[in-house]
Every structure is written in C-alpha cells, then in structure tokens.
Amino acid sequence: MGMKKIFGMDRIQHELEIAMVPHKVVDEISANSQQYVEELAEFLRIPSVSTESEHAADIRHAAMWVAKKLGKLGFQAELHETARHPVVFGHLLVDASLPTLLIYGHYDVQPPDPLAEWITPPFSPSIREGYIYARGATDNKGQCLTYLMAMEALLSVTGRLPLNVKVLIEGEEEIGSPNLGQFLQKNRELLRTDVIAISDGSQFAPGIPAITYGLRGLCYLEIQIQGSNFDLHSGSFGGVVANPIQELIEMLSRLKNTDGIVAIPSFYDHVLELPPDERLEMSRLPVDEMQLKKYLGVEQLTGEPDYSIMERKTARPTLDINGIWGGFAGEGAKTIIPAKAGAKVSMRLVPNQRSSAINEQFKSFIRSIAPSTAKIQIAEMHGSDPVLIERNQPAMVAAAKAIEFGFDKKPVFIREGGSIPIVGLFKDVLDCGSILLLGWGSPDDGAHSPNERFSLEDFHRAICSVAALFYSLEECYRT
C-alpha cells in the first residue's frame, strides 16, 4: 500500500529535496503502518504512571518494553536504576566517523483521572476517526515511538543507520525528572553527542508543523498552614481564633494582580524581553482566538494586557494556583473553624529566570506577608529552568527539511509554554546546544487531560520525518 493511498500525499517533489531518503524507506513505512499502530497500542496498554507508587511494576514493564524494542533493532540497551524509576539507555554505534544523534523521550505518563470523563478507558487504546485515544498517546509514547519505527524501517531497508544513535528514554519526566540530572552527570561520556532530538510537544496547530526553540521553566511549591490543634466549633471559638483558610487566601490573592502580573518582588528582574523581530514573527503566527476560546469553553482570555496571546502563552512568566484545600467541603453545612489549609502554586519561567532564585523569592515573599498567627510550611516540588535554543544553526535547517519531507509543509518556529525539565541540563551538563524540539503532537491532543489522543496521520508523517532527519543530519554534519 503506497503512502499516497493512505494519506493522499504526493511525495515526488520532496524526494527531490531530500534526495538521500531512499524511496524504499518510505514504502516500508507505509507498508508497516498498521503494525506500528499495533505496537503503539501495546505500549499504551501499560499504565506507567510515574507519580503513583502502586504503578511501580507497570513503570518497570514499560521500561523493559522499550529496552526490548531497542534490542530488537540491534541496540545495546539496558535499564539503569535511579533512586526511583529506571532510565532506558541504548546505543547503536555505526561508525566513529559519523555524527551522533541522541534521542530523548519519556515512557511515564500522567495519572488518567478523572476516569469518568474518558469515553474509552485510558489504558485500553481505542481508535476513532483517525486518532488513537489513550493516556500517553501523544505525551509521550506515540511521539517517542516515531524514532524507533523510523529506525526499524531504515534498518530493514538499508541495513544500517546513517548516524550513530543513542536513545535515552526516562520514566520520571512527568514528576520533574528528579534523578535524570544525576544520571547525566555520571554518564557524560556515554551520552556524548553532536545533536539531541526530542519530540515531546506539539505542532503549532493541526496541519502547521513547528520547530520549538524555547521552553518555559517551572517552579512548583506547596504551602501548608496549621492553625488550631483540630477543627473547632465556629460558634464556641469563632471570633478569637485565626482561620487558616482565610489567611491562605489572603496571601494567595497577593501573589498576582488581576492583569496577571506577578507581585513577588524581583520576579521579573531577569526576564528577557522579546526582541522586536521575534515579536513580529510571533504576531504573524495564525492564532485563531475565537477557536481557542471555543476549545477552552471560555468567553474571555485573560493575562498581561501588553502582550499578545502567543507571547503570554509561551514567552511570559506566569503564576497559577493549581489546587487548594482545607476545611469542610462535603454535603450540607458544618460549622467549623478549620485547623489546616493548603495550596499548590506553580510558576512558569522564561529565559533568563532561574528556578532556584524564583523558589527563594516565592518563599520569602510568602513569609513576609504571612500573618503572625500562621504556622506555615512551604515545600518545593519541582524546579526546572527555561530554555532558549540557538535557531541559527545547521541542525535546525536539517530538521526543517526533514519536517517538510514528512508533513508536506515548511515548519514555523515557535516557543512552547510547557516544560521539559531535563532540557536545560542537556545544554549545561552535556554541553550540547544542538537540541531539536520537534513536536509531533497537536495542541488539541488533550495531553494530561481525559481522552488524550494522537493523530495516526501525524504518527505516520512523523515517522517519515524522522527517517528524513537521519539523512538530513548526516548531510549537514558532513558538509
């Protein structure tokens, strides 16, 4: 079955641009597309939720699944234990004179709740109208597998890869990659590479592929306030005891103003303002505000008035309350003064903010505004730094060519609002600034949401793009 038949694309003109991708590789990918989907479904059936300790065996199962797949491709692959979930690392060294590509992804997934909102169960992959639905479909199992499938096709047609390849698939991305930094530090030599490819994000919009050159960083903290020893009768004690929920919300309300401007002193000190040419480029991206509001189910978008939607979503820092608890929220009414209250707060950071500094600023601001009655504890849950990747480098050109080959469209360059915690360390620890963030997903895939999905057409196009990337990278490092 030809590619054209499946997805109605005409490859001929692109064969000219990336002359080195053998026809047979594309035919092989098309011929095996059904099998790739079946393998993806098998991978998606493993509930590798990294946050929940009850899934430890599933996590290991997913890691072994990846290692086994790499083994079948001829990789020397093994599990490396960490303090929590294993890292899968494999390498296939073709020839010392060839450049090396390191592929990074994650086999862990977010918890699937709220379960009742899934049309089909999260770990029983289901195909409907060209999409595969399951937790992890787009984030990140489907996107990860595009690399393995492309290599399988290349190997079966040509017998060898055009590059040396290292594959690093971890199981802790969704919990902030707490142990991967140490793995990098310890294995610098093993991981040495010329270029890194990561597909753990999105295209700009359905049908508009993108290369991402910026990611936001993340600080995530939890605040707990302890009041009285236990919940009190609000009639007997109301009027003489501070209410921790009241104290908490007063503090939270001072973190950000209604225009979305964060009120923590020094928060913006190191924020790199967007240069005019980048603002102009961003303003040309076809943002459909009506469509976005409809998708989100909101009548108005909010945020910093002086910045566009794209700027606010990707290049400006934010602060959000993710959850809040305390007191009585059950059926009926219960007259108490609660003993405790708590909240989880996160901040997305942009270049050149540093998560360690922002965490400290947050804590000292909270302490400075806390009432004397409040016994407060603040815990840091995540910290990852923002990333900006040099766009003006040969690997970007190679990636753009490869995307155009697979998607039949030139990619746009975008920043993403999400975070991939390890990417900053790739730059610093591995000393590799050639990082290709090639999101194969779509913003409406529902990552982290119920009914997460991945387009099978994108899956297929991405596999073709990855095959092309091997050749275009080899070419760009050769010349």
Using CA atoms, how far apart are residues 150 and 156, in angstroms rounded to an integer?
10
Taking CB under 5 A as the criterion, the residue among 28, 139, 152, 247 binding Zn ion is 139
Residue nearest to Zn ion (CB): 139
Closer residue to Zn ion (CB): 202 or 434: 202
Name the minimum Å distance from CB 200 to ligand BES.
4
User: Among ligand BES, Zn ion, none, what does residue 458 contact (CB within 5–8 Å per kind)?
Assistant: none
Q: Are 141 and 66 in contact (CB under 8 A)?
A: no
Using CA atoms, how far apart are residues 169 and 200, in angstroms rounded to an integer?
11
Phi and psi angles of residue 188, each rounded to the nearest 5 degrees, phi first: -50, -45
User: Among ligand BES, Zn ion, none, what does residue 311 contact (CB within 5–8 Å per kind)?
Assistant: none
Name the minimum Å distance from CB 243 to ligand BES.
32
Distance of CA 263 to CAs 78, 254, 314, 342, 421, Å?
47, 7, 19, 20, 25
Name the minimum Å distance from CB 309 to ligand BES.
15
Closer residue to ligand BES (CB): 162 or 424: 424
Name the minimum Å distance from CB 218 to ligand BES.
5
Closer residue to ligand BES (CB): 90 or 142: 142
Name the minimum Å distance from CB 4 to ligand BES.
31
User: Among Zn ion, ligand BES, none, what does residue 200 contact (CB within 5–8 Å per kind)?
Assistant: ligand BES
Closer residue to ligand BES (CB): 173 or 457: 173
Name the minimum Å distance from CB 94 to ligand BES.
29
Closer residue to Zn ion (CB): 14 or 348: 348
Q: Which residues bind ligand BES (CB under 6 A)?
A: 139-140, 173-174, 176, 200-202, 218, 382, 384, 416, 418-421, 447
User: Among ligand BES, Zn ion, none, what does residue 48 contact (CB within 5–8 Å per kind)?
Assistant: none
Q: Count residues contacting Zn ion (CB under 5 A)?
A: 1
User: Among Zn ion, ligand BES, none, what does residue 326 contact (CB within 5–8 Å per kind)?
Assistant: none
Name the minimum Å distance from CB 419 to Zn ion.
9
- Give the binding range for Zn ion (CB under 5 A) out of 133-141, 253-261, 298-306, 318-326: 133-141
CA–centroid distance for 399 within its chain? 19
Name the minimum Å distance from CB 110 to Zn ion.
6
User: Among ligand BES, Zn ion, none, what does residue 202 contact (CB within 5–8 Å per kind)?
Assistant: ligand BES
User: Among ligand BES, Zn ion, none, what does residue 418 contact (CB within 5–8 Å per kind)?
Assistant: ligand BES
User: Among ligand BES, Zn ion, none, what does residue 420 contact (CB within 5–8 Å per kind)?
Assistant: ligand BES
Name the minimum Å distance from CB 437 to ligand BES.
8
Closer residue to Zn ion (CB): 113 or 289: 113
Residue nearest to ligand BES (CB): 418
User: Among Zn ion, ligand BES, none, what does residue 193 contact (CB within 5–8 Å per kind)?
Assistant: none
Q: Which two tokens stand for residue 49?
A: 């939720």
Residues that bind Zn ion (CB under 5 A): 139
